[in-house]
Chains A and B, each alone.
Chain A
Amino acid sequence: MFKLHQLNTAKSKRYQELQFLTIESINEYDSEKAHAHDAIILNIKNALEAEESINLIRQQTSVSDYLKPIFISKESLNRQLRTRSYDGFTDAVNLQAIAQTTRKINERISKVYRTKTINDYKQQQLFKVLAFTFTRNIHLDPYTSRYSKLGYSYPFLDALIEEEHSQEILEIVELGLREELFSGKINDKIHLCTSCSSSYINIRETCPKCHSIDITEKDLIHHFRCAHIAPMEDFQKEDNLTCPKCDHKLRHIGIDYDKPSVMYNCNTCHHEFQEPEMKSYCIDCHKEDEIHHLVEKKIYEFSLTPKGDEVVKYGLEKLINSNEEIPKDVLSCSFFKLMLQQEIERATNHDITSFHLKMNINKNQVPQMTESTEVGFKKEIISIIKGYLLSSDLITAVSAYEYQILLTNTDIHKANELTGLITNNLNKLITDNLSEQNETIWSELKPIQQGLKMA
């Protein structure tokens, strides 16, 4: 049996078909080198350095880098790790178990869509979380953490997001929940500071007049016999309670007297009141606030939905925004790809003529657009194209400048005519708004047959 401590001395070690990279210092991490290994073993004594190393790995951009299985040599650690973004310990199990975990993770990593760089930061982070959840085949369960400003953190997200930006953790998982990529089961509710989003809030009773916290609570006493009511201190005479109105000794609560309510006394402004004002005080940024102003957030236990699963396998791309903006009958690229494959099979086996039309807009010919104007532009182009299509035809938008259409059950004549019509009209629409009347639309029509690929 190959024991774990044997790894400590080796930088790179092979076990069965697997290559493990052992790192003893953060400086030793090299993404290219890591890339060539199946898993990483952190044999770092300093827990802080170990955490930084994990963060460094998880913050990589390449799928195979940030999802790399990480194991910790627990024996060497000087304290418990704050993060939970690793896959196990090397001292608790033998290498066989680590190898098994590595294989399982790597097998699932191979199914993850190698996405192009996602421009939207939150979407990019969300994809990474989805991919981590998928490859580890786990529920993303929150855990309490005094190191997170939220008081809660999630595996992987704790390494991905810096502690001071922990509010982003909620934004990312909420985005996943909203887009139905995650399903959530509520675990807790937290209240965050309106200024710094910290959950380290002290709730204090304050004077409603001067907001001082120096207030004293005192019981009111009601003497049944003479209907006198006053704070307890008025009745106190040495160790006894004596009514200041009728000089009668109060012996028995419930028979002689009761305590119908309490009063508060402010030792700063001497205001007397019954309802102290509840104020929150942020331990982190020292902001004092009204309780009802605090931001309430739900903490969920997450699990991947089938849609989330699909996103991990086929890519996120513009799915999130486009789903909100673009009509539902516009297919995602991955789905269009599947449908195209199916249509090729259908056309080959059933002697059907269908066409694949690819249309590109010369990006240089249109004014530069922001992300949101691009969405609007895309919506407009799609609605024009769809005006010429039959309900059985399929369309996808690869980007704002590239559209692919599947013209099903049509002949070459009709397909050509349609291509010309769409090209001319789009050309006219775009060039009408431009000073230079250059060709802006380029189209390519191909029959559906074996060997055709979606570019």
Chain B
Amino acid sequence: MKELLPEYLQYWVTVGLEKFIRIFWYFVIFEFTRYVILDYIVAFIFWLRRKKRKENWDIAAQKLRIENPLISIIIPGKNEGEHIYKLVKSLSEQTYRNFELIVVDDGSDDETPIIGKNLEKNGLITMFLRNDQRGGKASAANTALRFCKGKYVVHLDADCSFDRDAIENVLIPFYMDEKIGAVGGNVKVRNYEDSLCSRLQAIEYLKTISVGRIITSTLGIYKIVSGAFGGFKLEILQSIGGWDIGPGLDGDITVKIRKSGYKIHFEPKAICLTNAPNKFKKLTKQRLRWDKSIIRFRVRKHKDVYLPNANFKWLNFLSLFENVFYNVILDITWLVYIIDVIINFSGSLKFVILMNITLYMVVAYIQMLSAYIFSERRKEELKLWNVLPLMTIYSGLYLRIVRTSAYIKEFFFKESYDDPWNPEKSSSMAKRYGF
């Protein structure tokens, strides 16, 4: 290694910029431009607008406080009984108090019904609804939606907890722009200290959610209101018929709202903590499910967004295109790049691989720096910095392989319809009608 270093440096000094770009075209064109240059430009604009944003925020907050509308917090799920009490307690700490709490039990086979009924009886839950026959997450959310009385609906996952002002902060953006139809909360990893797996996800969440969504939201192409924490206008949800069959229903509903002509906003101050899978096996299963939904919804179901029809909107197009391009197309392009490097630079392959690792590592630190700048939990998140070098393998290799596998499975075999996450009765119908 020591002998290799001078040779490695000598190679890069003599290679020149032109050849550098030729060898690392994939990194320079796609990764560096999108995740460093664009991010920092937008972050800079975001920073420049901070004063104006603060003014708008304060006015909107004032409006919210004056109107103080009833909101409906809905929590659909199966076998979530153990989390419900903690969640209810966490919600009772919220600064925003005027809410009704609707918990939907989607055919749980554990003690959830007993827990839920007791909480309802004791007034800790406004409404506990149980569907004896499991219908899937979408039907559970739609059950709650049917009985919501609030002006806004906040959709939560039962295993999440929230900053004291999270609900208030997810509502305020609705008063900043009346065209905002949905607001996504900032989901962070609570159990980042559990394992390497959860630590790497914590970094990934910071990059893709906390920072990534600020960027896409600022650009107007924000595409997914996380199911773990998101706010919606009730009338919009009702007009689009609520959620469709998943998996990936949170991304799907966001697109549906966009297509209805509303803006989607990401609110970094509305913070929610969730437990990420702490084993790679579990994580792989989760990501396969998530990644399949890109093909199912963004490529297949909502393909009309790409077509020049009467409803065509550039932002909707870009929103989905950016997502599909940077995930699906670049996965294929990455394979082309690997083949290109192997064929054309086989003599200096060792230097190319090393340089690639170096570049991605540097980018990981640059991105982490932006997450650090935006974060409100800087001190805690400092613990994550020591595993940053591993992010090259995690997102550059592991996630890419999982993603590619999911795309192939979904594109050629429509495997998402066989996912036990949904009951067969719903999946078979969704498959038949191409949802």
A interface residues (Cβ-Cβ under 8 A, vs B): 220, 222, 224-231, 234, 244-246, 254-256, 258-261, 263, 272-275
Which single residue of chain A is at the shortest CB-CB distance from B134?
A260
Which single residue of chain A is at the shortest CB-CB distance from B146?
A230
**Could you jot down 21 A-B contacts, CB within 8 Å?**
A220-B131, A224-B428, A224-B429, A226-B244, A227-B138, A227-B139, A227-B245, A228-B139, A229-B131, A229-B146, A231-B146, A254-B425, A256-B429, A258-B133, A260-B139, A261-B132, A272-B147, A273-B127, A274-B129, A274-B130, A275-B128
- B:229-243 near A, CB below 8 Å: 241-243
Chain B residues within an 8 Å CB radius of A245? 241-242
Is B186 interfacial (CB 8 A cutoff)? no
For B117-143 the 0/1 string (1 means CB < 8 A from A) is 100100000011111111110110011
Pair B147/A224 contact, Cβ less than 8 Å: no
Pair B242/A228 contact, Cβ less than 8 Å: yes
Chain A residues within an 8 Å CB radius of B426? 224, 227
* A205 to B390 alpha-carbon distance, docked (Å): 61
With A258-B425, A260-B135, A275-B120: A226-B245 Cβ-Cβ less than 8 Å:
yes
B interface residues (Cβ-Cβ under 8 A, vs A): 107, 117, 120, 127-136, 138-139, 142-143, 146-147, 241-245, 425-426, 428-430, 432-433, 435
* A229 to B242 alpha-carbon distance, docked (Å): 10
Q: How many A-B residue pairs have CB under 8 A?
A: 79
Give B158 Cβ to nearest chain A Cβ, in Å. 18
Chain B residues within an 8 Å CB radius of A255? 425
Chain B residues within an 8 Å CB radius of A272? 127, 147
* A390 to B15 alpha-carbon distance, docked (Å): 119
Contact of B241 among A220, A224, A226 (CB under 8 A): A226
* A227 to B426 alpha-carbon distance, docked (Å): 7
* A306 to B133 alpha-carbon distance, docked (Å): 57
Contact of B136 among A227, A230, A275 (CB under 8 A): A227
Give B394 Cβ to nearest chain A Cβ, in Å. 34
Chain A residues within an 8 Å CB radius of B429? 224-225, 256
Pair A227/B244 contact, Cβ less than 8 Å: yes
Which single residue of chain B is at the shortest CB-CB distance from A259?
B133
Chain B residues within an 8 Å CB radius of A220? 131, 143
With A227-B245, A274-B128, A275-B117: A260-B146 Cβ-Cβ less than 8 Å:
no
Pair B135/A222 contact, Cβ less than 8 Å: yes
Chain B residues within an 8 Å CB radius of A263? 129, 147
Chain B residues within an 8 Å CB radius of A244? 241
Give A15 Cβ to nearest chain B Cβ, in Å. 69
Chain A residues within an 8 Å CB radius of B142? 227-230
Pair A227/B128 contact, Cβ less than 8 Å: no
Pair B430/A225 contact, Cβ less than 8 Å: yes
* A274 to B132 alpha-carbon distance, docked (Å): 11
Which of B117, B143, B430, B435 has the most chain A CB atoms inside 10 A of its CB? Answer: B143
Chain A residues within an 8 Å CB radius of B242? 227-228, 245
* A275 to B118 alpha-carbon distance, docked (Å): 11
Q: Tell me the dominant secondary structure on chain A's binding face.
A: loop
With A258-B425, A261-B129, A275-B117: A229-B143 Cβ-Cβ less than 8 Å:
yes
Given contacts A229-B131, A246-B241, A258-B425, 15 further A-B contacts (CB under 8 A): A222-B133, A224-B429, A225-B429, A227-B135, A227-B142, A227-B244, A227-B245, A228-B242, A229-B139, A229-B146, A231-B146, A258-B133, A260-B134, A260-B135, A275-B120
* A253 to B135 alpha-carbon distance, docked (Å): 14
* A222 to B120 alpha-carbon distance, docked (Å): 23
Pair B146/A224 contact, Cβ less than 8 Å: no
Chain B residues within an 8 Å CB radius of A274? 128-130
Chain A residues within an 8 Å CB radius of B107? 260
Give A234 Cβ to nearest chain B Cβ, in Å. 8
Chain A residues within an 8 Å CB radius of B243? 227
Pair A260/B241 contact, Cβ less than 8 Å: no
Which single residue of chain B is at the shortest CB-CB distance from A272?
B147
* A254 to B425 alpha-carbon distance, docked (Å): 8
Which of B134, B242, B429, B432 has the most chain A CB atoms inside 10 A of its CB? Answer: B429
* A226 to B252 alpha-carbon distance, docked (Å): 13
Which of A227, A228, A246, A255 has the most chain B CB atoms inside 10 A of its CB? Answer: A227
Give B236 Cβ to nearest chain A Cβ, in Å. 14
With A226-B435, A227-B135, A229-B139: A261-B130 Cβ-Cβ less than 8 Å:
yes
Chain A residues within an 8 Å CB radius of B129? 261, 263, 274
Chain B residues within an 8 Å CB radius of A259? 133
Pair B244/A260 contact, Cβ less than 8 Å: no
Pair B135/A225 contact, Cβ less than 8 Å: no
Give B256 Cβ to nearest chain A Cβ, in Å. 12
Pair B127/A229 contact, Cβ less than 8 Å: no
Which single residue of chain B is at the shortest CB-CB distance from A225?
B429
Which single residue of chain B is at the shortest CB-CB distance from A271?
B127
* A220 to B433 alpha-carbon distance, docked (Å): 23
* A260 to B108 alpha-carbon distance, docked (Å): 12
Chain A residues within an 8 Å CB radius of B430? 224-225
Which single residue of chain A is at the shortest CB-CB distance from B246?
A227
With A229-B135, A229-B142, A245-B241: A224-B425 Cβ-Cβ less than 8 Å:
yes
Chain B residues within an 8 Å CB radius of A246? 241
Give B226 Cβ to nearest chain A Cβ, in Å. 19
Chain B residues within an 8 Å CB radius of A230? 142, 146
* A222 to B136 alpha-carbon distance, docked (Å): 10
Which single residue of chain B is at the shortest CB-CB distance from A248?
B433
* A443 to B132 alpha-carbon distance, docked (Å): 80
Chain B residues within an 8 Å CB radius of A231? 146
Which of A220, A226, A244 has the most chain B CB atoms inside 10 A of its CB? Answer: A226
Which single residue of chain A is at the shortest CB-CB distance from B147?
A272
Which single residue of chain A is at the shortest CB-CB distance from B141?
A227
